[in-house]
Each structure stands twice: as structure tokens, then as C-alpha cells.
Structure 1
Amino acid sequence: MRGICGILSAAALLAGHATPALAQEAGTSFEQAQYEACLNLINENPEAAYEEGLAWRAQGGSWPAMHCIALSQVALGQYGIAARRLESTAEGAVVATDETRAIMFGQAGDAWLAANEPANAERAFRRGRDFGPGDAGLALGVAEAAILQENWANAQTAAGDAIGLDAGLARGWQIRAQAHLEQGNLDAASADLNEALARDGENIEALVLRGRIAEARRTGG
């Protein structure tokens, strides 16, 4: 499953993408510097970052302030609230680049997964793909959310999209293998699992899945 650490590491990436949008919106580098400082504070003291974000927002801060608040809430374990805020921030950040908005929707999807709400996660990842159709991670997020909902057909399709964008994604091959298995297509499941293991031969979940496929062949189920 995609990790919360991925949400926070993407925050540093976002700080680098914010400048063009903020130049249009604020016309100065002040908000950009404030944004970077707030994001950097999250790893050190998320409560302080949250309070700083709220104060910044009260002073008229735009989407970067909201984004910092949301990521602070992720760090504080408030996953559902953070996910909702990340989605609304991404929707409202019309001056931000498509890449930035795609990242924020991906972060929202990850937060929804952490909140054990895969249906909401799938929605966020799919919305992110509207802004980042070439982002393999977003396609993989859709697949992760679909497999958790036991929607095998959607998981198979989304995992295929992820693999098509980045064939090196072992997790994409693994999810599609599981989707094939659940739909009774054992040959396709074996083929995809072999691809997954070729890329990550020590993955425990993949090794367990290999056992399930072998058992299904043995029992004919």
C-alpha cells in the first residue's frame, strides 16, 4: 500500500513546483518562502506547522496555506480530515500547475487509504489523473483502492494503466496478478506474478500470492 511517508516527501517536491503559480497569484516570492518554511516545519513539529498554517490562512494565505494545514493534519494522524482538505485545496488551486494539482490529489488519495476509505481514495486518485494522466503513481493508487474494494475488474484495468506507464512497478504487476486470480484467470495471474517477482523477488505479499495461485491450481478453484 502507498505510504504516508510518500505524502510528506511529495510536499518537498511541491514546494519546487509552487513558484510559477504563486508568481501569478501573489506577484512576490514572500508566499513561496512562507510555503517552503511551513512544509519544512511539518517533519519537525507538525502541531506548530498546523498552527502556522492556520495563522497564515487567517491573514489571507491562499492554497499553499491550506496545503500546509492539510499535510500537518496528515502528520498528526488526522487522515480523513486531511484527505478532505487536500481534495478541496487541489480543486480550488486553479492558479497552480496541473502537475501540482495532480500531486495534491494523489496525496488526498493516500490519506483516504490511511483512513481506510478506499472508495474516497479511488475518487481522489481518478481526479488526480485528470491533471496527471501520465503519472503512473496515480494509476497505481486507483488500482490499490479498487483492490481494497474487491473490485477486481477496475483493479485489473488500473494496474494495467500503471504498468503501461511504468513497467518497472512491481506492485502494479502484483495487483493485476491478484485481480486475475480473483477472477479465475490463473494463467494470467501466474504470468503477472512472475513479472512482479522479477522486479521484487523478496516481497512477502507477492510470495503469499504465489502460494494462493498454486493452491488454486491444485484445487481447481
Structure 2
Amino acid sequence: MKIFYIKKQKLRLLITILVLAIFAIIFYNIYYKNSEETFKEDIYYKGNIDEKVIAFACNVDWGNEYIPEMLSIFEKEDIKITFFVTGKWAEKNEKLLKNIYSYKHEIGNHGYAHADYGKLNYDDNLREIKKCHEVLNNILNMECKYFAPPAGSFNDNTIKAAEELNYDIIMWSIDTIDWREDSTQDKIINRVLTQAENSAIVLMHPTKETIKALPVIIQTLKEEGYDIVKVGQVIK
């Protein structure tokens, strides 16, 4: 009888463990897996519109001397793009930021400081994104809804913080790598034109070589039937 009782107790324990395991799997699928899928829906490496449109995204934390000429090129070509600016840069360059906005370009959040957001905890991610949001709102009286993490570095904390602040995270599908010293006009042109596709997001910065490359890139894309637009115009 004693042996039977021990076996019965072990059987109950095994059943309990099995039931708990099943509940854990169900909970994971309902909560964590769905949360991950929701987060992924808020990260865009390219747009989701199957049309011949390409978005230009210019990240700004430096390069002030090249921005006026960049604006002149876009104005001449009747193009509006998205400028992702850091809060620190915006505070120091209010006049230039207002000038960019006056041309009807879209303004995005690039974080307050040009930090490695992939190494920050949730609270720090939330603070940096929110602080930039407030700076831009105070200067331009507008609400940003797109966040481009510096260097494309983010983690789960960044995703959760962005979601908390109603931001979509914007990455890119074409990287000009124009910030690197060996990136010449021809290399930048080649990187963009060989990877052009519907709803692509082209990452660039205000640099001398970018300014030289833009007229050729714009002309060629237009000849191929592409419209060059803001990030918000390639995302439904």
C-alpha cells in the first residue's frame, strides 16, 4: 500500500508539472509571442506600399554647413523628405531646424543625444526619446511619430519605450554610408541606384559627397519612374 501511495503521489506531481508546462506555453504564445509580433510591426526597414516610391531619410546631428544646399536641391526638384534630428542638435540650431520645417519636410525624432540606444535600459530609452520629442514640440509645435535610433542601434527596451510614446521605429533598406571617409560621390550613387525598389528607405546624412551625389540620384530615380517622398508616405 505504501509503494502504491508513493507512486500515486509521483503521478500527481508529474500531472501538475505537465499542466503547468502547458499553461506556460499557452501564456507565452498569447502574451510574449504576440508582443514580439506587435513590436516587429512597429519597426520599418522599408515601407509597405507596393508603388514606385522611395523615401529619403536624412539623419542630422552634425553637417550644418551642407544642409542649406541640400534644401536647395530638394526645393529645385520639388521633393520633400524626412529629417531625423537629435534633440541636442535642435536646441543649438533652432533657426536651421525651423528653416527645414518651413520647406514642408517631415521632422523625425533621432533621440535627444546621439547615443547607443541598444545599450540603454528602458527608463533611459524612454527619457531620451521623450526629451527629443518635447524639444521638437516646443520649437516647431508639432508631434513627431517616427523614431530613428542613431546608428540603427536598438534593443527590446527601445522598442517598448517607443511603443509607450506612440512611435514607430524607422530603420532603412538602403544605406549610403556617406558618413565614412572613403564614401565618394560615385559610391553613394551606386549604393542607392543598384538597390532601388518600391517603398525603399534611403539613409543619408548632410555631407559633401552626398550633396554631390544627390542630383544624379534624383534624376536617375525620376527617369526610372520613382517618386521621392517622406518616410510617412511609404508607410500605411
Q: TM-score, normalised by structure 1?
A: 0.24
**Which gives a bigger RCO, structure 1 or 2 (Cα 8 Å, sep 6+)?**
2
| Structure with greater helix percent | 1
| Structure with greater strand percent | 2
Q: TM-score, normalised by structure 2?
A: 0.23
